[in-house]
């Protein structure tokens, strides 16, 4: 390492990255920056296992975006999630159907997300059953968004309540083996000035 590079590292400060309140506001690591504002917009990838210690949730990958900071901490908001490819492969079975539905929804407090629901049937089903199940995915996710704030919607999506509801509804159409909320992405955030793209809105917090 050159002396110039060592000099740059000496000027950097380490900030503790804080998870969103919906995940307990726990520290999830440290990140260096010579200026706090340079952290804004960075996306941190972690897993639900890392945040909760529950190893059964290791396959749920979370994306958290830094939107604010103070003298010691960098604060994040939920940016999206995705189930690991290995997990999805493990739950797919031969001679069964995989039905996915993609929908953009807005929570009761004005946050917009793109959500992918996934239903795995016990046996191969026909096209009409797939259409009906996909409609159930749309209805389920949409209703959860309409009735819940952003934080409560994220909690239901990540911790499984929404998937349980989806499976219960889909079973009324065709035998179902598994239902998951496969992926999500935050599109718009709610601000006093109205919805804005899910990028940087907050600046340095006062100590």
Per-residue pLDDT 10s for the chain (207 aa) are 554 445 455 668 999 999 999 999 999 999 999 888 999 999 999 999 999 999 999 999 999 999 999 999 999 999 999 999 999 999 998 899 999 999 999 999 999 999 999 999 999 999 999 999 999 999 999 999 999 999 999 999 999 999 999 999 999 999 999 999 999 999 999 888 877 887 655 544 443
Last residue of a domain, one of 36, 56, 83: 83
At residue 12, the pLDDT reads 84
Query: What CATH number has the domain bearing residue 120?
Result: 3.30.479.30
At residue 10, the pLDDT reads 61
How many folded domains does the chain comprise? 2
**Same-domain check for residues 27 and 59:** yes
At residue 200, the pLDDT reads 54
Give counts: helices (H), strands (E), the chain.
6, 9
The verdict on residue 56 lying in a domain is: yes
**Same-domain check for residues 77 and 103:** no
CA 127, CA 204: separation in Å to the nearest integer?
52
CA 202, CA 197: separation in Å to the nearest integer?
13
The verdict on residue 198 lying in a domain is: no
CA 30, CA 72: separation in Å to the nearest integer?
10
CA atoms within 13 A on the CB side of 62: 24
At residue 202, the pLDDT reads 52
**Same-domain check for residues 73 and 105:** no
CA 117, CA 183: separation in Å to the nearest integer?
7
**Same-domain check for residues 161 and 105:** yes
**Same-domain check for residues 7 and 44:** yes
Last residue of a domain, one of 31, 62, 83: 83
The verdict on residue 125 lying in a domain is: yes
The verdict on residue 39 lying in a domain is: yes
**Same-domain check for residues 160 and 178:** yes
Which domain does 155 fall in, by range?
A: 93-189
The verdict on residue 194 lying in a domain is: no
The verdict on residue 196 lying in a domain is: no
The verdict on residue 9 lying in a domain is: yes
Please report where in the chains the tokens 């935050």 appear, as a residue: 186
**Same-domain check for residues 97 and 22:** no
The verdict on residue 203 lying in a domain is: no
Q: Enter the pTM of the model.
A: 0.89
**Length of the chain, in residues:** 207
Task: Give the number of other Cβ atoms within 10 Å of residue 101's Cβ.
Answer: 21
């Amino acid at each position: 390492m050159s002396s110039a590079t060592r000099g740059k590292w000496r000027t950097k400060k380490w900030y503790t990255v804080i998870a969103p309140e919906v995940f307990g506001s726990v520290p999830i690591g440290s990140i260096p920056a010579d200026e706090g504002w340079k952290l804004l917009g960075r996306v941190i990838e972690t897993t639900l296992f890392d945040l909760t210690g529950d190893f059964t949730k290791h396959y749920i990958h979370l994306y958290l975006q830094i939107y604010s900071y103070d003298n010691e901490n960098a604060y994040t908001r939920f940016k999206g999630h995705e189930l690991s490819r290995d997990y999805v492969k493990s739950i797919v079975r031969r001679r069964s159907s995989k039905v996915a539905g993609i929908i953009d929804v807005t929570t009761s407090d004005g946050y917009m997300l793109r959500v992918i629901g996934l239903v795995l049937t016990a046996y191969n089903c026909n096209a009409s059953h797939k259409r009906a199940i996909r409609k159930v995915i749309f209805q389920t996710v949409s209703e959860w968004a309409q009735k819940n704030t952003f934080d409560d919607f994220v909690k239901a999506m990540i911790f499984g309540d929404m998937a349980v509801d989806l499976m219960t509804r889909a079973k009324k159409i065709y035998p179902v083996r598994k239902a998951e909320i496969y992926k999500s992405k935050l599109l718009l955030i709610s601000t006093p000035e109205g919805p804005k793209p899910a990028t940087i809105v907050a600046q340095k917090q006062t100590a």
